[in-house]
Structures are given as structure tokens and as C-alpha cells.
Amino acid sequence: MRRLRNVKIVATLGPASSDYDTIRALHEAGADVFRLNMSHGSHDEISKRHEIIRKVEKDLDSTIGILADLQGPKLRVGEFADGEEELVEGAAFRLDLDEAKGDINRVRLPHPEIFAALEEGAHLLVNDGKIRLKVEKCGPDFADCTVITGGTISNRKGVNVPDVELPLAALSEKDRKDLEFVCALGVDWLALSFVQRAKDVWEARELVNGRAAVLSKIEKPTAVKSFEEILEASDGIMVARGDLGVELPVQNVPPIQKRLVRRCRRAAKPVIVATQMLESMIESPMPTRAEVSDVATAIYEGADAIMLSAESAAGQYPTEAVQTMDNVAREVEADETYREVIEASRKVDRTSVSDAIVSAAREIAENVDIKAICCFTQSGTTALLTARERPRVPIIAMTSERGTARRLALSWGTNCVMTGVLERFKQAVVSAARAARAGGYASATDHIVVTAGVPFNVPGTTNILRVAPCDERLIFSTDPD
């Protein structure tokens, strides 16, 4: 299914989008990748949604990526004797390991790892930052705090610790079970929550063992500080702005988003911008002007994908939310300013033959009347390098690996076409010409750029480029191979 835009759309599935008709409608409206949120839904429900996605993919003869998002460890306070209390600014409040129910003076925090890492002067955020506490004194089983920002605190509210790196693994016991389940199910991407350091990613990669691509969610200040190492360990990145906005001053989030998106692009790794993109469409058929501008900003920055969360999972207008994103993307990408911004931010360190080949392909396509760049790829690397260039013409990723095609559903501008296993370059050129014509990218009188690696079927060997006609008779008459 050809899209008339380059940025990809990720839609989260949930109670509002769990049946065949809705999932099919979401894909037809523009969803390229579906997110399965492991924080919600049983394994049976997740399995059924996965099955439906694959049926839609087969029925529409399309390529759909599936992203499973692990919950990560959840830090929460205990329960209160009266269900809730009102904390007042300036008051003293204690967090401890005592199992007794809480009151106006204290509550249990059943995470000794937090107490082990806390220092005087650190801050604790409760209920998405609505309540802010400052640690005055702490020990291995308590933290005496002053209430900096008051509010209502109630049972099981979440706790964020922005100032310190916590000695917690990114994978809880639940995450490990979920990881094994979704990898056996056959998802294409696995998103890791609570990533603080590259070690968290490497541990997950070992468990995944190549069964899915690993995407790290940047949602903690410690992850921002360790971003270069995390990026190197990851196959992709999600800028999870919701949690970042809780643990960091909100004004810090936009420049961080811009910086991380550009760094991912330089590394040729897909990056998703997520959280609260069209939040009002959970209950309204129309977004706010600010939300539309927010979506547009992510597209102007060159993000590979933009994501819907509750809008498509639990909202009243899931299909309309996807359609809105699609409309905004098409409008932005048609703007001359978009190309100016994208091309001005093209900063790439080209150090390999593959880098040079894809750069040359983009240059040729933009200076000659070329209709598409067709790249043959086994692992997906060549397509990712081509997408990094953000060419003005469509990218057709030709692969014999279904898993590769599905993973590339998250990559900017890639249109995946399945092909048989090829042995000769002439076969590749003919297949590319046929795919370009069949997809409506070019006619028989047009030309395309073809990149491939010889010998074939060896990952990482892109070393050949050809400008080829889309007329097969001309290919056979001019190519001696």
C-alpha cells in the first residue's frame, strides 16, 4: 500500500481498536506500524491483536510492522488508610518501607533500591509530577522529605526519581516473560522502557537474540545523558516526551527532541516522536491547532515516525486521529520549507562504500529526471542509509526477507517490495524496473537508480549503482550481465 508521504505513523491498539474492521481501517487510513502496549492487555488479547494485524496484512497484500512496548519497572507508593491525603506545601512527609497503611505524615515506598540511591537534596515526583518532594534526610529504609509542591496523593500513585540513576534493571520479571512471549509471537520491534544506560539495552538484546529489532525509549534524564551509548546499542529510538516532561523542566523537552532526532538520523536509525501528539482527539473529532503544530514540528525535524497512544487505543475517534496525522504529514512534506529544513540538516559522516553509494544515488536522483531509488537489501541497512539521505524521490526497498520489510515499515520514506532470492545483477535491475512500474512510481519511459551488493544475499555489501530504464527490453539490450 503506497503512502503519499514519507514519515511513518505508529498507532497503538487497545479497547477502541482491537477488532478486524477497526485495525484494517486504521491501516487503510495511514497506520504503518501497530504498537502493542504490554502495560495493558493479557497475553491472550495481545495474541489476538497480533493475529488480526497479520490477517489484515495478508488480505491487503501490504507490509505492516508490529511494535511490542514493554512496561518496564513501575515505581509506586503503597496505600493510605483513608485512600488519599492532601499534602500541603512546606509540610514534612516521610517515605519508608513500613508496611502499615499511610497517613498525612508518611506512606510506604516498597522499593529499597530507591532509598539506596537517594541523596540529600534529591527530588521525588509523585503522580506524574503533580506532587514534588525534596529529600532532607535519607537512609537505607526511609526518606524524610519536604513538600515542595502539594496536592492529593492517593493509593498506588507512580513515583519518578529524576536526579539519580537508580540501581534497577530496565527489565522486570513481567517484562522478561512478556519479552519471550512477543518474540515467540513474531513481533518486529521491541520497545524497552526505563532505559537508563546502554547496559540495559545490551541485556535485552541478549534475551531477544535477533528475533526482533530493539528500540530504546528515552524517557529519563539519565538516558539523555547516556544517549550516545544507548543509541549505539539500539536499532531505533523513541523520544517518549511524556515521561521526559515529568522528570525534566518542560521547556527542556523541545530542544532535547530536536537534538535526539537529528542524532538518530545521522546514525541511520529510525526515531519515533511520541506522547500527547493529538491528545484532544481522545474525546474530540478535531485536534487543537497546537497539536497540529506539534505533529508538524516533528515532521519538519525529520523524524522517521510519529505515534498515537491513547488517541487510537482508547479514544472515540481512532481512525480520524490517524487520518489527521496523514493529512498533516502530506501537507508539511509538500511545503518548500520542509525540503529546505531537511536538506539543511543533512549532516552525515560518510566513511564506507555503502555510504558513498547511497549518497551518490540521492545526488543522481535529484539532478537527473529519476523517478525512484530502488535498493536491494537483506538486513535493511542499505534502505536505512538511503532513508538517512532523505531523497526527494521515493525509496523502494527490495528484499527477500519478510522480517526486514516489516522492520523497515518504521523507516522514513521506505516502500517495501518482496522479491525472490536473486543471483545476478541483471535480475535485480529487471525486478526493480517491474516494481517501480507496478507501484506507480515510474512508467516504461522513465529511469530509476538501482543499488545493490555483489555478491548477492550477503548483508553489508552494497557496492554497485546503476541508472536503469524501466523498459525491460532496454535493460536486456544494454546490460551484458
Q: Which residues are the active-site residues?
A: 35, 76, 217, 275
Alpha-carbon gap, residue 333 to 4, rounded angstroms = 9
Q: How many CB atoms lie within 10 A of CB 68?
A: 24
Q: What is the rounded CA–CA span in Å between residue 188 and residue 213? A: 6
* Residue in the block written with cell 545521522: 266
Strands, E assignment, 14-162: 33-37, 65-69, 84-87, 92-96, 106-108, 123-126, 131-139, 142-149, 151-154, 159-160
DSSP 155-217: TT-BEE-TTS--S--S--HHHHHHHHHHHHHT-SEEEESS--SHHHHHHHHHHHTTSSEEEEE
Nearest to 322 by CA among 36, 8, 4: 8
Q: Are 239 and 271 in contact (CB under 8 A)?
A: yes
Q: Which three cell numbers stand for residue 167?
A: 540501581
Burial class of residue 361 (count of CB atoms within 10 Å of its CB; 0-12, 13-18, 19+): buried
> Measured over all CA atoms, what is the biggest interatomic distance in the chain, rounded to whole angstroms?
86
Task: Determine the number of helices (DSSP H) and then strands (DSSP E) in the chain.
Answer: 18, 21
- Classify residue 477 by burial, with Cβ atoms within 10 Å: 0-12, 13-18, 19+: exposed
Residues 332 and 60 sit within 8 Å (Cβ to Cβ): no
Backbone angles phi, psi at 473, to 5 degrees: -65, -40
Element (H, E) at 55: helix 43-59
What one-character DSSP code corresponds to residue 389? Answer: T
Where helices occur in 219-307 by DSSP H, the ranges are: 221-225, 227-233, 241-247, 253-266, 289-300
Helices 20-29 & 43-59 angle (0-180, nearest 10)? 50
d(CA 188, CA 347): 29
Query: In sequence order, what DSSP letters do the residues of 297-311 get, joined into one string?
Result: HHHHTT-SEEEESHH
User: Helix, strand or coil for residue 244?
Assistant: helix
